[in-house]
């Protein structure tokens, strides 16, 4: 970590508090400090790191604030310039004297924290603003903590700053102080939680940030003693005491595997000294229950999971939190069985990677490995923290080599500036490899693995995530997600892996991409399998297209708008961008009230249909298998019969199965493909 990064993490809140106290304007203080950090980013690499980085930053920020005040005063002609500077200089002298004292002085950070917890702000806005201003947590990480997009969180922070524009910077007294301190306690724990679950980057823990959150609670206890503050401090100290054992060689270490000799036992003892009398006299509160759970985890004689399960049940009754339900499921699985834990997860919905990661662990314990694999891959795709993602990859790899499984190897392959996540099942033999193109939108290929494991016992199978999907390159511009680029990636991947001529399987929407592939690169394919797919637009897609043509005619859309809309059809491959597509629709005209998101998104699949599928497949003139579930609702089986009659092909219908027939009857499904490839 560079000196500038260290200063940003450790000094931002203190410096901002000093500037706010000096200039009494939050916007001016924050902008000036940000400009000072920008100046440091330009000059420190060139001139060297100053002897006292915080002092350098504070001086630079003060100069920028003074410059701005001078400009504002002169522009407004409201005050003589010398009067402005005299007032600023006097405020600066008072603040610097205050800041130089350690004990007995007003902590300017506490003043800033209480400002961020102003009654005019909603609790979530207050918490978010404190994380951003006092601890310098990035906006994107705050968004992940509150389960909202970064843009939404940025807008929320902007609104909160505007609300505080005219607020007083005084410390409240009496009941107002007690109420504000309760809000700050919640904020401090959110900051602590953020430190032990950073949304992105290589850090698994941010100990300095966690320590700062603990310090905030300690300052609060000096101002107003309350049982719940003791419980919160005990909870944070118990969790923080394990910081040195949480990560070894950059890898996450789960609680059961931690080296307890690396725990800070004096801190645990101090926390228990706070907690023990509380447990006897205080009523149950969320912080007290969480502290009791953390204390049970710290017991060197073992963990009473039955007791922890009961506390989590009580905590869930108090809070109704889905996160508490998630933790309760883990405790119940430990106390009872994985099946009981999984039952608690049924119907639970949470953004991020924790839910699929925990579900995967419980599925492994229950012996449901195919489902566990899918859950692990969903967790990896949702996880943005590098160390946690590496841990999930290890867990998935351990599952992959379980007894009785086929050989498996995963890799990341560059295909001309785009990275594809590739999984190879089985071993290369004398015959062609089987390359699989998955369906969509926005998912990887993991859900297809159960259907191809039986085939991989005697065939080499290559599955990969399309660009913009799963674990392959994400965040690509709309124009880079068109079907033609998926076809191009597939061709390059075959060449990069040295596969030569392959057997190609296209599943669902991937079947449409496979048809486009054999149109462009027939020389790379020996046989083609079209599984659970259709060459024709479904009735809904056709209705969508007809409706869109009518809409274009009514609105008289210009070519530029039409072009933008056509490009936006690929947003279906990245659901994070789907709202952008819908906003674009709304911006183009007023008559879309009856267009639901589901209907609009369904229509987006049309571009993956080849222009003249029957002509393409007849021209391909190589063996084709059409494999379909009898009760497929996504692509009705009648469409499979229609294509079979139109082009030379074999047709296999799996009875009593739906779209995911490979998952319902993997052996039967794989056997149809095996017989087709081997004949």
CB 613 within 8 A of CB 536: yes
Residue with tokens 């924290």: 113
Q: Looking at residue 556, what is its pLDDT?
A: 46
Return the higher-pLDDT residue of 485 and 602.
Answer: 485
Residues 6+ apart with CB under 8 A from 347: none
Name the DSSP class of 608. Answer: G
Q: Looking at residue 62, what is its pLDDT?
A: 92
φ, ψ of residue 430 to 5 degrees: the values are: -75, -30
pLDDT single digits (tens) 645-674: 999 999 999 998 888 888 778 889 999 999
Q: Looking at residue 204, what is its pLDDT?
A: 58
Spatial distance between the Cα atoms of 528 and 627, rounded to a whole number of angstroms: 11
pLDDT single digits (tens) 21-36: 788 888 888 889 989 9
Measured CA to CA in angstroms, residue 111 lies from 169, 172, 223 at distances of 7, 9, 12
pLDDT single digits (tens) 121-163: 877 788 888 888 887 778 887 887 676 788 888 888 988 888 8
Sign of CA dihedral 147, 233, 231, 298: positive
Q: Encoding tokens for residue 120?
A: 């005019």
Highest mean pLDDT among 129-133, 535-539, 576-580, 594-598: 129-133
Average the pLDDT over 71-96 and give the result. 56
Q: Are strands 247-248 and 251-252 parallel, antiparallel or unpaired?
A: antiparallel
Give the lowest-confidence range in 150-164, 553-567, 592-606.
592-606
**What is the model's pTM?**
0.51
Return the higher-pLDDT residue of 316 and 631.
Answer: 316
Is residue 394 over pLDDT 60?
yes
pLDDT single digits (tens) 410-456: 888 999 889 999 999 988 887 899 999 998 755 688 888 888 989 99
Spatial distance between the Cα atoms of 595 and 607, rounded to a whole number of angstroms: 19
Q: What is the pLDDT of the chain when averaged over all its residues? A: 79
């Amino acid at each position: 970590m560079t000196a500038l990064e260290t200063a940003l993490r450790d000094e931002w809140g203190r410096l901002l508090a000093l500037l706010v106290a000096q200039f009494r304007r939050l916007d001016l203080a924050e902008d000036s400090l940000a400009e000072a950090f920008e100046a440091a980013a330009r000059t420190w690499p060139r001139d060297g790191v100053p002897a006292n980085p915080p002092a350098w930053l504070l001086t630079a920020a003060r100069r920028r604030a003074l410059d701005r005040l001078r400009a504002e005063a002169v522009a407004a002609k409201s005050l003589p310039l010398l009067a402005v500077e005299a007032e600023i200089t006097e405020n600066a002298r008072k603040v610097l004297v205050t800041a130089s004292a350690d004990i007995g002085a007003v902590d300017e950070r506490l003043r800033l924290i209480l400002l961020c917890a102003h009654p005019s702000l909603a609790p979530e806005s207050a918490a978010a603003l404190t994380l951003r201003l006092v601890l310098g947590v990035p906006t994107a990480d705050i968004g992940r903590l509150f389960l909202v997009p970064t843009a939404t969180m940025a807008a929320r922070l902007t609104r909160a700053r505007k609300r505080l524009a005219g607020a007083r910077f005084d410390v409240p007294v009496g009941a107002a102080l007690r109420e504000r301190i309760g809000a700050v306690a919640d904020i401090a724990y959110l900051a602590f939680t953020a430190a032990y679950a950073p949304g992105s980057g290589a850090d698994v823990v941010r100990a300095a940030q966690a320590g700062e959150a603990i310090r905030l609670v300690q300052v609060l206890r000096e101002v107003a003693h309350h049982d719940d503050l003791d419980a919160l401090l005990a909870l944070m100290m118990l969790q923080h005491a394990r910081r040195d054992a949480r990560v070894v060689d950059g890898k996450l270490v789960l609680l059961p595997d931690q080296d307890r000799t690396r725990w800070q036992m004096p801190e645990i003892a101090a926390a228990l000294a706070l907690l023990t009398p509380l447990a006897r006299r205080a009523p149950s509160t969320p912080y007290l229950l969480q502290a009791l759970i953390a204390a049970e985890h710290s017991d060197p004689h073992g963990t009473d999971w039955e007791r922890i399960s009961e506390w989590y049940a009580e905590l869930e009754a108090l809070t109704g939190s889905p996160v508490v339900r998630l933790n309760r499921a883990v405790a119940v699985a430990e106390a009872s069985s994985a099946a009981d834990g999984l039952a608690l997860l049924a119907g639970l919905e949470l953004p991020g990677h924790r839910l699929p990661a925990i579900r995967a662990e419980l599925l492994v314990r229950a012996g449901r490995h195919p489902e566990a694999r899918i859950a692990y891959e969903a967790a990896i795709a949702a996880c943005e923290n590098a160390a946690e993602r590496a841990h999930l990859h290890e867990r998935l790899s351990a599952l992959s080599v379980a007894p009785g499984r086929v050989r498996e190897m995963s890799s990341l392959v560059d295909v001309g500036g785009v990275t594809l996540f590739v999984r190879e099942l089985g071993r290369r033999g004398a015959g062609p490899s089987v390359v699989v193109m998955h369906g969509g939108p926005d998912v990887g290929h993991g859900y297809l693995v159960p259907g191809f494991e039986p085939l991989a016992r005697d065939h080499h199978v290559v599955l990969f995530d399309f660009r913009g999907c799963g674990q392959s390159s994400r965040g690509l511009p709309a124009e880079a997600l068109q079907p033609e680029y998926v076809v191009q990636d597939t061709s390059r991947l075959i060449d990069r892996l040295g596969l030569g001529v392959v057997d190609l399987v296209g599943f669902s929407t991937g079947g449409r991409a496979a048809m486009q592939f054999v149109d462009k690169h027939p020389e790379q394919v020996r046989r083609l399998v079209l599984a659970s797919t259709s060459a024709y637009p479904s009735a809904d897609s056709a209705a969508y297209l007809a409706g869109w043509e009518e809409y274009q005619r009514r609105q008289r859309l210009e070519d530029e708008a039409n072009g933008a809309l056509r490009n936006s059809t690929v947003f279906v491959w990245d659901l994070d961008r789907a709202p952008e597509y819908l906003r674009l629709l709304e911006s183009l005209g007023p008559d879309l009230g009856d267009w639901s998101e589901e209907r609009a998104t369904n229509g987006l699949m049309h571009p993956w249909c080849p222009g003249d599928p029957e002509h393409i497949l007849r021209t391909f003139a190589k063996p084709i298998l059409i494999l379909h579930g009898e009760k497929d609702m996504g692509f009705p089986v009648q469409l499979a019969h229609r294509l079979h009659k139109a082009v030379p092909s074999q047709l296999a219908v799996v009875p009593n199965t739906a779209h995911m027939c490979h998952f319902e009857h993997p052996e039967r499904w794989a056997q149809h493909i095996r017989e087709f490839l081997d004949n």
